[in-house]
C-alpha cells in the first residue's frame, strides 16, 4: 500500500466526544474528518472539517456523507447498519467495523447469544418480554441486571432487579423486550481495547480496570490492578472476541473478573470507548489514532504502555440542565501530571459526560500502590471541578 499526504477524508457517523477525539487524532496524520450528527454544532464540529446535520439513521444524510469521503466509520451504535451497507456499496466506500458486526452488537440479547454460541464466556442470561417471565428469572437467578436490548448507553437501559415484586416496574423502565443477566460476583470490572487492522492483524492495549457507580464509568486505571493470571485470561478472551468480530477498527471489550478467577464478557462496543481514553497519554498510539489507521487500512501503531495512567470522568453535577461552564480548572492545569480534555458540549446535564482528566505516572512505577495514589489524586483534582455557581 502506498500512502501519500494530504491524506484521505474519513466520514464518521456521530459527532459526540468520540468523534471529536477521532478528528483530533486524524489531523496530525493529514486525514480530514467529516461527521454526521443531528445536533447542530455538535462537539466534533469544532475540530472536524465539516458536519452534516442529519440523524444517525437518516439515509439521505448518510449517502451525502458517503459521497464526500474515502472511508466510513461510526462512533455510536445508533447508526443504521443497513443504510451504512447500502451507502458503502452505492458509493464504493469501505465502512468499518462491518455493518453486520454493528447489527449484532446493537441488540444485547443477540450479541450475548452470538458470543455464547462462539464459546466466549458470558454471564448466565435469559430473554424476557413479560413481567411474569422476569419474575421467574429473578427467582431462578436470585436477582438480575435487566438490560434493554437496544439503545442503552452510559448505564441507561440497565436496571438491577433484586426481587420478583420489582419486575413489572423494571421492565417498564427499560421499555419492553429485554435481557436478564445473573448478577456477577466480580472482583473488579476490567476492559480491553482490542484492535483489528488490515489482513486480520490484531493488537490489544494493556488491560484496564474500570470503576463504575450508578452504572456509569467514573474512573479507569491502567494497567489494571489484577493478578498476572487474570490479565492473561482477559487478553486471551479479548483475542477470541476479535477473531469473532468482522471489520477493522477499535473495539471496547468490557469484562468481569470474577471472584473465582474467571473472566466473562459484559458488553462490546464496536468503536473507541471511554475505557480507553487513557491511551491518549498512556500509550504510544492512542485508541483514536489506531481506529483511524485501521479503518483506512493503514499500518497499526504500537499499543505498548508508556506510563501508568488513571482517567477520571467529569460529569454534569447539577440536578437540572444548565449552560456548560466548568469552574475550578486551575487546580488541574497546575498539576504537571494531569491532562484535561473538554468535550465542547453546550449543556451540562445530570451525570452527562462533559470531559475527562488523565494523570500519568512519570516514574512508570509498576506497583499497584502507586496506581492507587494516582487514582486518589485524580479524584481529588476531578472533584475540584464544578458546573455550579460559586
Instruction: Give the three-class secondary structure for 294.
Output: helix
Instruction: Give the range among 118-122, 272-276, 360-364 with minimum mean pLDDT.
Output: 360-364
Measured on CA atoms in the order 294, 299, 301, 302, is the torsion positive or negative? positive
Instruction: Give the three-class secondary structure for 145.
Output: strand
Q: Does domain 124-182 have CATH number 3.30.1490.20?
A: yes
Domain 186-383, CATH homologous superfamily name and number: ATP-grasp fold, B domain (3.30.470.20)
Residue 364: φ, ψ to 5°: 50, 45
* Residues of the chain above pLDDT 70, percent: 98
Residue 381: φ, ψ to 5°: -70, -45
pLDDT single digits (tens) 11-39 = 999 999 999 999 999 999 999 999 999 99
- The closest alpha carbon to 171, from 213, 208, 135, belongs to 135
Read off the pLDDT of each residue in 144-167 and give the average, rounded to a whole number: 87
pLDDT-derived band at 216 (thresholds 50, 70, 90) equals: very high
pLDDT-derived band at 122 (thresholds 50, 70, 90) equals: very high
Instruction: Give the three-class secondary structure for 60.
Output: helix
Residue 306 burial (CB < 10 Å; 0-12/13-18/19+)?
middle
Does residue 199 register a pLDDT over 90?
no
Read off the pLDDT of each residue in 290-296 and give the average, rounded to a whole number: 98
pLDDT of the residue at 390: 64
**Where in the chain do CATH 3.30.470.20 domains reside?**
186-383
**Where in the chain do CATH 3.30.1490.20 domains reside?**
124-182
CA distance 226 to 282: 18
8-state DSSP, 327: B
Domain 9-95 maps to which CATH number in 3.20.20.190, 3.40.50.20, 3.40.1190.20, 3.10.450.50?
3.40.50.20
pLDDT single digits (tens) 40-88 = 999 999 999 999 999 999 999 999 999 999 999 999 999 999 999 999 9
Angle of helix 108-117 relative to helix 99-106, nearest 10 degrees? 110
CA distance 89 to 82: 11
DSSP 192-261: EEEEE-GGG-EEEPPPEEEEEETTEEEEEEES-S--HHHHHHHHHHHHHHHHHS-SSEEEEEEEEEETTS
Identify the helix (H) or strand (E) that includes residue 46: none
pLDDT of the residue at 175: 85
Residues 6+ apart with CB under 8 A from 2: none
Residue 251: φ, ψ to 5°: -125, 125
Q: Which residues pair with 313 in a beta bridge?
A: 356
Read off the pLDDT of each residue in 310-332 and give the average, rounded to a whole number: 92
pLDDT single digits (tens) 84-114 = 999 999 999 999 999 999 999 999 999 999 9
Does residue 154 register a pLDDT over 90?
no
**Where in the chain do CATH 3.40.50.20 domains reside?**
9-95
Amino acid at each position: 500500500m502506498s500512502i501519500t499526504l494530504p491524506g484521505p477524508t474519513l466520514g464518521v457517523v456521530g459527532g459526540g466526544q468520540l468523534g471529536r477525539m477521532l478528528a483530533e487524532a486524524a489531523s496530525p496524520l493529514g486525514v480530514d474528518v467529516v461527521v454526521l450528527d443531528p445536533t447542530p454544532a455538535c462537539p466534533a464540529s469544532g475540530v472536524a472539517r465539516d458536519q452534516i446535520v442529519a440523524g444517525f439513521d437518516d439515509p439521505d444524510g448518510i449517502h451525502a456523507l458517503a459521497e464526500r469521503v474515502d472511508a466510513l466509520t461510526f462512533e455510536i451504535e445508533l447508526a443504521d447498519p443497513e443504510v451504512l451497507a447500502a451507502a458503502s456499496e452505492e458509493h464504493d466506500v469501505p465502512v468499518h467495523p462491518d455493518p453486520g458486526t454493528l447489527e449484532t452488537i446493537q441488540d444485547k440479547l443477540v450479541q450475548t447469544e452470538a458470543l455464547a454460541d462462539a464459546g466466549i464466556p458470558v454471564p448466565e442470561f435469559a430473554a424476557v418480554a413479560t413481567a411474569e417471565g422476569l419474575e421467574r428469572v429473578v427467582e431462578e437467578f436470585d436477582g438480575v441486571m435487566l438490560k434493554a436490548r437496544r439503545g442503552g448507553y452510559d448505564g441507561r437501559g440497565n436496571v438491577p432487579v433484586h426481587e420478583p415484586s420489582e419486575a413489572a416496574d423494571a421492565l417498564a423502565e427499560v421499555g419492553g423486550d429485554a435481557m436478564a443477566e445473573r448478577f456477577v460476583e466480580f472482583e473488579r470490572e476490567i476492559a480491553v481495547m482490542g484492535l483489528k487492522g488490515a489482513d486480520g492483524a490484531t493488537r490489544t492495549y494493556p488491560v484496564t480496570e474500570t470503576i463504575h457507580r450508578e452504572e456509569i464509568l467514573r474512573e479507569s486505571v491502567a494497567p489494571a490492578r489484577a493478578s498476572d493470571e487474570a490479565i492473561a485470561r482477559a487478553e486471551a478472551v479479548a483475542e477470541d472476541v476479535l477473531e469473532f468480530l468482522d471489520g477493522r477498527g477499535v473495539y471496547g471489550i468490557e469484562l468481569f473478573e470474577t471472584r473465582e478467577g474467571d473472566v466473562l464478557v459484559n458488553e462490546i462496543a464496536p468503536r473507541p470507548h471511554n475505557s480507553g481514553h487513557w491511551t491518549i497519554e498512556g500509550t504510544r498510539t492512542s485508541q483514536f489514532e489506531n481506529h483511524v489507521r485501521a479503518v483506512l487500512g493503514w499500518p497499526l501503531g504500537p499499543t505498548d504502555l508508556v506510563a501508568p495512567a488513571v482517567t477520571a470522568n467529569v460529569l454534569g453535577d447539577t440536578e437540572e440542565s444548565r449552560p456548560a461552564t466548568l469552574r475550578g480548572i486551575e487546580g488541574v492545569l497546575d498539576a504537571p501530571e494531569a491532562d484535561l480534555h473538554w468535550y465542547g458540549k453546550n449543556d451540562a446535564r445530570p451525570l452527562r459526560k462533559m470531559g475527562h482528566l488523565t494523570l500519568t505516572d512519570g516514574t512508570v512505577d509498576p506497583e499497584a500502590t502507586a496506581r492507587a495514589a494516582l487514582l486518589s489524586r485524580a479524584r481529588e483534582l476531578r472533584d475540584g471541578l464544578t458546573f455550579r455557581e460559586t
